[in-house]
Amino acid sequence: MEWYAKWIKPQTDTGDVCPLFQKYFFLEKPVKTARLFITALGTYEAVLNGSRVGEFVLAPGWTSYEKRLQYQAYDITNLLEKDNHISVTVGKGWYRSPMPGWSKSSVQEELKKSPAGLLAQLEITYEDGSVEYTVTDETWTFTESPVRFSEIYDGEIYDASMECGSSSAGSGSRDYGSAKPVCAFEGPTHTLIPQQGEEIREQERLTPICIFTTPKGEVVADFGQDITGYVEINLTAKAGETVELSHAEVLDKEGCFYTENYRTAKAQYLYICRDGQQSYKPKLTFFGFRYIRIDQFPGGTSAAKPENFTAVVIHSAMRRTGYFNCSNPLLNQLFDNVIWGQKGNFVDVPTDCPQRDERLGWTGDAQVFIRTACMNYDAEKFYTKWLADMMADQGPDGRVGHVIPDLLSEEPASSAWGDAAAICPWELYLAYGNKELLSSQFTLMKKWISYISTHTETEYLWTGGTHYGDWLGLDAPSGSYKGSTREDFIASAFYAYSTSLVIKAGKVLGEDVAEYEELYTKIVAAFRTAYPEYKTQTECILAAHFHLAEDCRAAADQLATMIKECGVKLQTGFVGTPYILHVLSDYGYSELAYSLLLRKEYPSWLYPVTKGATTIWEHWDGIMPDGNFWSADMNSFNHYAYGSVADWIYSVAGGIRRIPEFPGYEKVKIAPVPDERLDWLSVTLDTRHGKIYSGWKRAGNVWRYEITTPVDAVVVIDGKEQQVTKGTYLFYSEIERA
Task: Give the mean pLDDT of the chain.
Answer: 96
Fold of the 319-653 domain: Glycosyltransferase (1.50.10)
What would the pLDDT profile of 106-118 be if each residue is shown by its tens digit?
Answer: 999 999 999 999 9
The SS3 call for residue 45 is strand
3-class state of residue 305 by DSSP: coil
Q: What is the pLDDT of residues 134-157, one digit of tens each?
A: 999 999 999 999 999 999 999 999
- Interhelix angle 487-509/420-432, rounded to 10 degrees, is 40
Using one digit for the tens of pLDDT, what is the confidence trace for 444-478?
999 999 999 999 999 999 999 999 999 999 999 98
Q: What is the pLDDT of residue 181?
A: 97
Question: 177 pLDDT exceeds 90?
Answer: no
pLDDT tens digit string along 238-252? Answer: 999 999 999 999 999
Task: Point out the catalytic residue in the list 144, 151, 249, 618.
Answer: 618
Is 254 an annotated catalytic residue?
A: no
CATH 2.60.120.260 fits 7-197, yes or no: yes
Residue 345 sits at the vertex; the CA angle it makes with 366 and 657, to the nearest 5 degrees, is 50
Lowest mean pLDDT among 159-173, 504-518, 577-591: 159-173
pLDDT for 175 equals: 60
Tell me what percent of the residues of the chain surpass a pLDDT of 70: 98
- The residue among 585, 532, 523 whose CA lies nearest residue 559 is 585
Question: In this predicted structure, what is the pLDDT of residue 233?
Answer: 98
- Asked whether residue 164 carries a pLDDT value surpassing 80, the answer given is no
CA atoms within 13 A on the CB side of 558: 19
The whole-number average pLDDT for the span 481-487 is: 96
What pLDDT sits at residue 576?
Answer: 98
Position 201 pLDDT exceeds 90: yes
Domain with CATH 2.60.120.260 in the chain: 7-197, 201-316
Considering the candidates 123, 358, 380, 427, report the single residue annotated as catalytic. 358
pTM of the model: 0.97
For residue 178, the model assigns a pLDDT of 87
Residues of the chain with CATH 1.50.10.10: 319-653
Q: How far apart are CA 549 and CA 533, in angstroms?
A: 9
Task: Kindly state the DSSP code that residue 403 receives in the 8-state scheme.
Answer: B
CA pair distance 170, 167, nearest whole angstrom: 7
- The tens digit of pLDDT for each residue in 513-564 reads 999 999 999 999 999 999 999 999 999 999 999 999 999 999 999 999 999 9
> What CATH architecture does domain 663-734 belong to?
Sandwich (2.60)
**Contact status, residue 114 vs residue 95, Cβ threshold 8 Å:** yes
> In CATH terms, is domain 201-316 a member of 2.90.10.10?
no
Catalytic residue flag (residue 601): no
Task: Report the DSSP pairing between strands 192-194 and 69-75.
Answer: parallel
Q: 3-state DSSP: the chain helix, strand, coil percent, rounded to 5? A: 30, 30, 40
Q: Of 678, 673, 703, 698, whose CA–CA distance to 588 is shortest?
A: 673
pLDDT, residue 287, reads: 98
The string of DSSP codes covering 89-138 is EEE-HHHHS---TTS--HHHHHHHTS---EEEEEEEEETTS-EEEEE-ST
pLDDT for 737: 74
Q: What stretch(es) of the chain map to CATH 2.60.420.10?
A: 663-734
Q: Could you please report the per-residue DSSP string of 709-724?
A: ESS-EEEEETTEEEEE
> DSSP character for 207?
-
Residue 355 has pLDDT above 90, yes or no: yes
